[in-house]
Amino acid sequence: MYDDLKQRVYEANLDLQKHGLVVFTWGNVSGIDRGRGVIAIKPSGVSYERLTPDNMVIVDLQGNVMEGDLRPSSDTPTHLELYRGFSGIGGVCHTHSLYATMWAQAQREIPCFGTTHADYFYGPVPVTDTLTRDEVTGPYEVNTGRVIVRRFAQIDPLHMPAVLVANHGPFTWGKDAAQSVENAVVLEQVAMMAYGTLLVNGRQDCISQALLDRHYLRKHGKNAYYGQR
Amino acid sequence: MYDDLKQRVYEANLDLQKHGLVVFTWGNVSGIDRGRGVIAIKPSGVSYERLTPDNMVIVDLQGNVMEGDLRPSSDTPTHLELYRGFSGIGGVCHTHSLYATMWAQAQREIPCFGTTHADYFYGPVPVTDTLTRDEVTGPYEVNTGRVIVRRFAQIDPLHMPAVLVANHGPFTWGKDAAQSVENAVVLEQVAMMAYGTLLVNGRQDCISQALLDRHYLRKHGKNAYYGQR
Amino acid sequence: MYDDLKQRVYEANLDLQKHGLVVFTWGNVSGIDRGRGVIAIKPSGVSYERLTPDNMVIVDLQGNVMEGDLRPSSDTPTHLELYRGFSGIGGVCHTHSLYATMWAQAQREIPCFGTTHADYFYGPVPVTDTLTRDEVTGPYEVNTGRVIVRRFAQIDPLHMPAVLVANHGPFTWGKDAAQSVENAVVLEQVAMMAYGTLLVNGRQDCISQALLDRHYLRKHGKNAYYGQR
Amino acid sequence: MYDDLKQRVYEANLDLQKHGLVVFTWGNVSGIDRGRGVIAIKPSGVSYERLTPDNMVIVDLQGNVMEGDLRPSSDTPTHLELYRGFSGIGGVCHTHSLYATMWAQAQREIPCFGTTHADYFYGPVPVTDTLTRDEVTGPYEVNTGRVIVRRFAQIDPLHMPAVLVANHGPFTWGKDAAQSVENAVVLEQVAMMAYGTLLVNGRQDCISQALLDRHYLRKHGKNAYYGQR
């Protein structure tokens, strides 16, 4: 019944590993079928070698397992908050990729230092607030989602498909599961380049708004002219 | 007679290489059978290509070779001290992995900067004292074990399955040989992330106790809810 | 009709990926046939897996597609400016390789810190001016080429086959497409070595003119004595 | 006639590439037959894919080609100076490996920060003087060898089988070609660890003489007890 969704989410999870962004079982991708009100997500703590399209877990938007014998990723409540808060997204990805996590741990947004960044992320990649003690001891994974959505009060998540959760690591999203993974790969590259830029020149400024506009809009929106049409 | 133990220790040694943590023969893993009072350990200076389950060396807790034609790892006395000092552990792993070794050489504990760390290590990863001249010129490998055990006087090794030996490199342990290797892999990731975090923000603080508790206890202990049950 | 040119440009594009300089479709190589007044270049946004010699795009020097069903790389106008401005070159390569991009983002030329650099680049690798607002909002890709050519007013592009476009990344060139890729590979190595040199010794000076001459001229020009003749 | 020497030197050159220490043709290994007064060395500028045991070049100690159709490595005169200056060595290796080259370019010796270093190199890895203008414009490759030998006036090359040529990169040596490559691999690891150690703790001291003695002598000399006997 959810075969197509499960297949695509399965492939996106494998892509994550193929791109070298995960160690062991650290990382999870989900995709949503908004018509039916369900998501497919990676099971918790299952190694990539044992993943099959069939063991993806189908969960409704209240977090109830609708299909599947395994427990869904422990980060499922965070994914659900993102789908609730960001109505335009179709896939969510979470990793502990090295360089993005360094910035998340350092609690610094990633400045837009160049066009690689501007091609995908329309401004600095934001970092969330630290969760309060109550947020940590309460429903932690739900609150992780909430702190992200709160951070986007003034930011359009469709133009900034990534966030750094303070003390933790990145979440990325996109129109579907595959694109959320693509954005995770790009975020890691951008995080690495920004890291080195900072070490070479500690006072480097962001690029100009004009250059940011040019690159972002070259790839996104109705006047895009990159790629094949 | 010790076939099962030797097989598992052999596989753990190969895993170490598979994860890219060793160059040449630098690295060794052991496992203990506490009932019979023996450990199996990698032979000294034998390349990973020539390892077989059969050439793992069986040593009793006094360091006598019980089975095997090869000499055991020169670090065997250190492993034995750890098994003696930490009664709850079943496997020990030693590497010179790059980033963990950098911290060991810099004689700085690895601060808990994020949840990747908190998922596995309950607090900063400690660094031992420098060995004294007498400890170095005496039974060096035994003393290396003792300086580790001494460092854990106030720390529960079951909640902190890793240490940095000053001027040397990491030792990790776990319930068995395989888990000691898993912890070595995680330690290297955590060391790398902490290194970058420090370079991005030299004054970064540790995460809160609440967040450390949340993540560590999410994966360990009776209320754990990560993975499949 | 352009089969040979397309084949060579195709192979150069694959080499770029083989050397690990590209993620997704970030990177493009072209080659020119000056006799016929055309270049072959990678199509825009097509994955390396789907590239064939046949889908290389043939474009004349005014940017008109002469052969091919796909749109050429969006960076084509930059390539054309370089072929126009640097009459001695036969191939152009653009990447967002990590370390070269760090320097481009940091807007610092790469100093000649050693003989690896001197073997290929006769002096510091220059960085362009930042494009003005008008240059960015106008014909951006053409202007990117112009800002490069302008930077070489006093530099011989045949002895300095690389540039860092400020806020963006490297362009390299050579006698043909293959050599432009070779120079991109070397530039990335040189950028990485210079990065580390700077971190180890922030006040490191360039090498002497005598050593630069010796190494560069050992490999280039009529008295070269490196390699087979 | 020199088949055995050529075979071993060929394998050592391939090992160099297998360990990821060379890009393109940057790197060369030689081995000496002191009885016959010849060395075998890699031909100049020939790609690793085209190397065969047969195209290794046999050169006498005055630099005359005795066997082989190709020109020997342009660094041959440096190798010959080392064989002349260091009578106990049997193989020489030269690379531009990334981290060792960073230190060479930064003109800083690599301090002995840990036991990985002490296992192979008995003290800090020295850096040569910068070559004078006359040394550069004169017989450059010969002078490179001389500046190395001069640096070892007070150092035993058998206990310090590596040097950093200022502004250039590392040379390593050993009892034969294979061991010179092993030392090149270790040097790169040690250079990387020392680099990170310095960034984590800019004021880190060398290890104690006692620890250096213990580790170096554990592996070398008549009381060694590492490995199989």
HSE at residue A124, side-chain half, CA atoms within 13 A, is: 14
Question: What is the tens place of the pLDDT at every residue in B134-155?
Answer: 999 999 999 999 999 999 999 9
CB nearest D192 (choices: B45, B98, B131): B98
Question: What is the tens place of the pLDDT at every residue in C108-147?
Answer: 999 999 999 999 999 999 999 999 999 999 999 999 999 9
Q: Which of D19, D219, C17 is nearest to B20 (CA)?
A: D19
Residues in chain A within 8 Å Cβ distance of C25: 227
User: pLDDT band at B222, cuts 50/70/90?
Assistant: confident
Question: What is the tens place of the pLDDT at every residue in C43-86?
Answer: 999 999 999 999 999 999 999 999 999 999 999 999 999 999 99
> Has B119 been annotated as catalytic?
yes
Judge: C98–A228 Cβ closer than 8 Å, yes or no.
no
Give, as one character, the DSSP assignment of residue D207: P
User: pLDDT band at B1, cuts 50/70/90?
Assistant: confident
Chains that touch B (3 or more CB pairs under 8 A): A, D
Q: C-side interface with A, Cβ within 8 Å?
A: 23-26, 43-46, 70-71, 74, 96, 98-99, 101-108, 130-131, 133, 136-137, 140, 167-169, 195, 198-199
Across the range C8-29, mean pLDDT stands at 96
Q: How far is CA D98 from CA D104, D184, D195, D216, in A?
A: 10, 11, 11, 25
User: pLDDT band at A133, cuts 50/70/90?
Assistant: very high
Residues in chain B within 8 Å Cβ distance of A43: 228
Query: Which pLDDT score is estimated for D186?
Result: 98
Judge: D116–B96 Cβ closer than 8 Å, yes or no.
yes
> Has D226 been annotated as catalytic?
yes
Judge: B193–A23 Cβ closer than 8 Å, yes or no.
no
Residue C30 Cα, gap to closest chain A Cα (Å): 17
**b (16+ CB within 10 A) / e for C63-79:** eeeeebebbbbbbbbbb
Residue C33 Cα, gap to closest chain A Cα (Å): 25
Residues in chain B within 8 Å Cβ distance of D115: 96, 167-169
Query: Which pLDDT score is estimated for B221?
Result: 82
Measured CA to CA, the distance from residue D192 to residue D41 in angstroms comes to 28
Residue B174 near residue B182 (C-beta atoms within 8 A): yes
Measured CA to CA, the distance from residue D42 to residue A117 in angstroms comes to 43
CA-nearest residue of chain C to D139? C214
C-beta neighbour count of A66 within 10 angstroms: 15
Query: Which pLDDT score is estimated for A202?
Result: 94
Residues in chain A within 8 Å Cβ distance of C136: 208, 210-211, 214
| Interface-testing mutation among B197, B206, B212, with chain A (most A C-beta atoms within 10 A) | B197
Judge: C106–A200 Cβ closer than 8 Å, yes or no.
yes
Strand ranges (E), B1-146 = 28-33, 38-41, 57-60, 65-67, 91-94
Query: Which pLDDT score is estimated for D224?
Result: 84
Residue C159 Cα, gap to closest chain D Cα (Å): 20
Q: Which of D138, D141, D159 is nearest to D86 (CA)?
A: D159
Residues in chain A within 8 Å Cβ distance of B115: 96, 167-169
Residues in chain D within 8 Å Cβ distance of C211: 131, 136, 167
C-beta neighbour count of B127 within 10 angstroms: 22
Residue D165 near residue D125 (C-beta atoms within 8 A): no
Question: What is the tens place of the pLDDT at every residue in B160-199?
Answer: 999 999 999 999 999 999 999 999 999 999 999 999 999 9
Query: Which pLDDT score is estimated for B229?
Result: 64
Across the range B52-78, mean pLDDT stands at 97
All domains of chain B in start order, with CATH: 3-220 (3.40.225.10)
Helices (H) and strands (E) in chain C, counts: 8, 7
Angle value at C-alpha C15, between C11 and C19, nearest 5 degrees = 175
Residue C212 near residue C112 (C-beta atoms within 8 A): yes
* % of residues, chain C, pLDDT over 70: 100
**pLDDT over 80 (residue A150):** yes
Chains that touch C (3 or more CB pairs under 8 A): A, D
Chains that touch A (3 or more CB pairs under 8 A): B, C
**pLDDT over 90 (residue C172):** yes
Across the range B121-129, mean pLDDT stands at 98
Judge: D193–B102 Cβ closer than 8 Å, yes or no.
yes
C/D interface, count of CB pairs below 8 Å: 86
**pLDDT over 70 (residue C229):** no
Low-confidence ranges of chain D (pLDDT < 70): 229
HSE at residue B71, side-chain half, CA atoms within 13 A, is: 11
DSSP string, A92-108: EEE---HHHHHHHHHT-
**pLDDT over 70 (residue B15):** yes
Residues in chain A within 8 Å Cβ distance of C43: 228
Question: What is the tens place of the pLDDT at every residue in A81-104?
Answer: 999 999 999 999 999 999 999 999
Residues in chain D within 8 Å Cβ distance of C116: 26, 96, 101, 169
Query: Which pLDDT score is estimated for D229?
Result: 64
Query: Which pLDDT score is estimated for C87?
Result: 97
Indicate the average pLDDT of chain C. Answer: 96
Judge: A137–B210 Cβ closer than 8 Å, yes or no.
yes
Q: Which of A3, A69, A119, A134 is catalytic?
A: A119
Beta-strand relationship, D57-60 and A162-165: unpaired
Judge: B204–A103 Cβ closer than 8 Å, yes or no.
no
Q: Which of A16, A149, A154, A166 is nearest to A89 (CA)?
A: A149
- Burial class from Cβ neighbours inside 10 Å (0-12, 13-18, 19+) for residue A45 reads middle
CB nearest C211 (choices: D103, D107, D136): D136
Q: Which of B33, B48, B60, B119 is catalytic?
A: B119
Q: Which of D33, D48, D60, D119 is catalytic?
A: D119
Output the CA torsion sign for A192, A197, A202, A208: negative
**pLDDT over 80 (residue A229):** no
User: pLDDT band at C224, cuts 50/70/90?
Assistant: confident
Judge: D201–B104 Cβ closer than 8 Å, yes or no.
no
CA-nearest residue of chain D to C117? D168
Judge: B106–D228 Cβ closer than 8 Å, yes or no.
no
Tracing tokens 């270093």 back to the chain, one arrives at: D117
Residue D166 Cα, gap to closest chain C Cα (Å): 8
Measured CA to CA, the distance from residue A152 to residue A146 in angstroms comes to 10
Residue C1 Cα, gap to closest chain A Cα (Å): 24
